[in-house]
Structure 1
Amino acid sequence: MSEVVQLESAVAPHLCPVNSSAATRERPEFDSYTGRLDTDVRQVVMAYFGAQEQSAEAGAALDDVLRMRALMRRPGGPGHLELSRYVDEAGFGTVLVVGYWLSPEAFDTWYAAHGAGWTSGEAAIGHFVEVVRPTVRRLETIYSSNRDLQGIGTLAERPSGPIIEHGYWGGMRERMPDARDSSLASSGTPEPVARDGATEVVPHEGLCLIRSGQDFSSTEGAERAFYLEQVEPQLRAGMDFLRDEGRSIGCFANRYVSVLGEEGERREKSYAMSWWNDMADLEGWARSHRTHVRIFGAFTAHMKRFGDDARLRLYHEVAVVPREHQFFRYSRCHEGTGMLRAIQD
């Protein structure tokens, strides 16, 4: 009989005591984990640099983003970066490189030297940059495995043990320290500002970002078939709904992207990233909207069927970001790009 590992709180002890209501819950059906950042880390940076063109192939966009990736690999660049691509609702091929920093000061120094020119308007195609700087008190992560953490988790000092706060509605909020005693409600309205030939979106208080991903590269046989035939179609339908109709429920923009390898080749990983009005709107969709109910049901069926033998890896990271810690700038992009959608009538 295998030893049962004791559960621990997703919230690190130096950030908040264990939530007593969560601590009394029964053990979740499946173990999940979070990433433990170094205790000296107080704020992180998540920066998305994108290029778009009116072609699904997006060859020029890939070339531009590969050049940006080379700049991100210079001294002072992110501790982790990743390429991805997708075709958006307007049929524009878009390529992204996301970088993660554990120091806002390091990001600022790198950006001034290498990143600020990205949206100067000199490129022949659309360029944009979307940057958020959440504090660790307004950030939470969850992973289905304690190996090969993704996103900001790649910079974690270590993974946690199995955590208490998951497997029930409300777990996301209880994994975020500041959300335990604050609603983190939004206020204000995003506004456009024309500056130096580009459009910047001056954000509102309490914007919420979620990046939620899947790695099916290790799946085989029946598990692989189940994911591709039963799970992924439900996931894609939900992501299409958020992309096309999300504004009706508080989702400003959603991208469902394929992760790319070193040379731009497609890997068997994907993630969705969404900008939400606030955390409550994200919770509302997750709790009861038909599209998420179907996604949740499909993933639950997958894990129940394959259990401890499952090789599918799942994760998400959620950040709630104050107004002063957001930056959005778009050059030559169509009006439905990213947070530009938040300022459309």
Structure 2
Amino acid sequence: MESRGDAMSWQPEYPRRIPERRPAGHRPRAPRWSAEFERPFTAVTSDYYAVQVRDASDPAVDVFLDIAAASVDAGVGDAPDASEILTHRTADAVDVIFLGYWTDPTRHARWARHSALGRWFRDLDAAEVEHGAWRETIQVPLERAETIYSSPDREFGFAACEGIRLGSTTSNGYFGAARDRMPLSAIDPLEAPAPHTRRESVPSAGRRLRAALGLNVAVIRSGQYWEASTGEQLEDYERELEPKLLAGMDYLATNPDDTGTISLRILRSGDPRTVPARRETSVLGHFSSLEQLETWAANHATHAAIYEHAIAKNRQYGEARQVTTWHEVFVLAESTRFEYVNCHPATGVLAYAEELWQPVGHD
């Protein structure tokens, strides 16, 4: 591992054996930024905890949010470096989600064991609770992570952690750039061992199930922030860009066999009880492989519509652009943990899990 740039900016780096995807002489059409590190980190953790209810007015939501708030107070040891509240809605359920990020896996492990939220999740009795709950823990070495941001003015996702800043990058604006930004891709093709097969039925009600997906599943969180937008930029986002985004997500969700989509959630940022809602969303997607995510981005009209619109507006408004887009991609090792308590069978990765098992007792 070597430093890149000045001594205060560190990145994991391998001598490249696999050719990068960057075309010869490529010059990006728009500036972009990626996360850089002020000191070495071993891993990044993003831990999603959720309560699943029929309606956000369910009293279980208040209990969950109070426990989550108590778990990130300043006095809580090993609290996350950054955290968010998110909401996902479907016709069948509402998921209210706590998301925490850590740059130290040991601190995360202690927090998960001792925090109020960790204890709440472990103590749930799937046979007794009237609501559902789930936890999806993503933890990867930094060599398996990459990020991109359309503006350096505000850190989102993992980049909101202390010790991380945004630095300019020219590895953008071509298909395969996300792979090139992932350090391990210099020596590893990041291939999935086998495609994932959907289960016909998952008997999940009244049960606590753990799920495994296997090596090199790609997880992307792609964000949109237009809270500060006004006038024609606000109108453009809501009438032009957002419908294109939703069309792309609908295509992925309804064509899982062709796209490798395992799970896809559209998340609204902020307390779900707040009206009006904050103008910030993100999409959390799991794909069988990085290659399948790349194939949609490179070849499908729904992604081209999103991408070209965003580039055109960045060119039009430049530094006055009031909409920020970003993403973080993690390619998983096999140790990633997913756990579901009394959940709807279509929740998360349940239908595509390579293995499902019901633990005895609590660890």
Say yes or no: TM over 0.5: yes
Residues matched between the structures, number: 333
1:146 to 136, 149, 152: 152
Is the alpha carbon distance of 1:14 and 1:140 closer, same or farther for their aligned partners in structure 2, counting shifts above 3 Å? closer
Quickly say closer, same or farther: Cα 1:38–1:310, change in 2 above 3 A: same
Equivalent residues in 2 for 1:289-300, closer than 5 Å: 289-300=300-311
Residues 1:277 and 2:288 aligned together: yes
Shift in CA distance, 200/21, structure 1 to aligned 2, threshold 3 Å: closer
Given that residues 22 and 176 in structure 2 are in contact (C-alpha distance below 8 angstroms), is that contact kept between their aligned partners in structure 1?
no
* 2:93 equivalent to 1:92: yes
Matched, 1:225 2:235: yes
Bigger shift: residues 264-273 or 222-231: 264-273
**Aligned residue number for residue 64 of structure 2:** 65
**2:333 aligns to what?**
322
1:193/1:87 Cα in 2 relative to 1: closer, same or farther (>3 Å)? closer
1:158 and 1:32 mapped to 2: Cα distance?
Answer: 16
Distance 1:284 1:116, change over 3 A: farther
> CA contact under 8 A between 1:247 and 1:253: conserved in structure 2?
no
TM-superposition CA deviations, 1:37-95 (whole Å, max 9, x none):
2432110111011111123x45445324303412431221211110111212x431111
* Range moving further from structure 2, 126-135 or 263-272: 263-272
> 1:141-195 CA deviation, whole Å, 9 max, x = no partner?
111111211000001534343211001111000000001221111125589899x
Q: CA RMSD in A?
A: 2.9
Question: What is aligned with 1:334?
Answer: 344
Q: Does 1:257 align with 2:267?
A: yes
- SS in structure 2 opposite 1:301? helix
CA contact (8 A) 1:42 1:135 kept: yes
> Are 2:121 and 1:118 aligned?
yes
Q: Does the CA-based 8 Å contact 2:21-2:180 persist in structure 1?
A: no
CA shift for structure 1 position 105: 1.0
Q: CA separation of 1:274/1:30 partners in 2, compared to 1, >3 Å: closer, same or farther?
A: same
In structure 2, the CA distance between the partners of 1:20 and 1:118, relative to structure 1 (3 Å rule), is closer
In structure 1, runs of 5+ residues without a counterpart are: 1-6
TM-score by length of 2: 0.83
Partner residue, 1:83: 85
Where do 1:301-312 residues align within 5 Å?
Answer: 301-312=312-323
Q: Does the CA-based 8 Å contact 1:227-1:302 persist in structure 2?
A: no
Match of 1:4 in 2: none
Deviation, 1:210, is 0.2
5 Å-filtered alignment, 1:211-250, equals: 211-250=221-260
1:33 maps to: 33
Q: Distance in 2 between matches of 1:319 and 1:282?
A: 12
1:85–1:93: 8 Å Cα contact kept in structure 2? yes
Find the aligned partners of 1:319 and 1:217 in 2 and give their Cα distance.
26
Partner of 1:69, secondary structure, is helix
SS class of match (1:184): coil
Higher helix share: 1
Give the counterpart letter for 1:168 in structure 2: Y
SS in 2 for 1:169: coil
Alpha-carbon separation, structure 2, partners of 1:161 and 1:257:
26
What residue identity is the alignment partner of 1:281? Answer: Q
* Worse overlay, 247-256 or 129-138: 247-256
Segments of 5+ residues of structure 2 without an aligned counterpart are 355-363
TM-score norm. by structure 1 comes to: 0.87
8 Å CA contact 2:86, 2:272 repeated in 1: no
Q: What secondary structure is seen at the aligned counterpart in 1 of 2:322?
A: coil
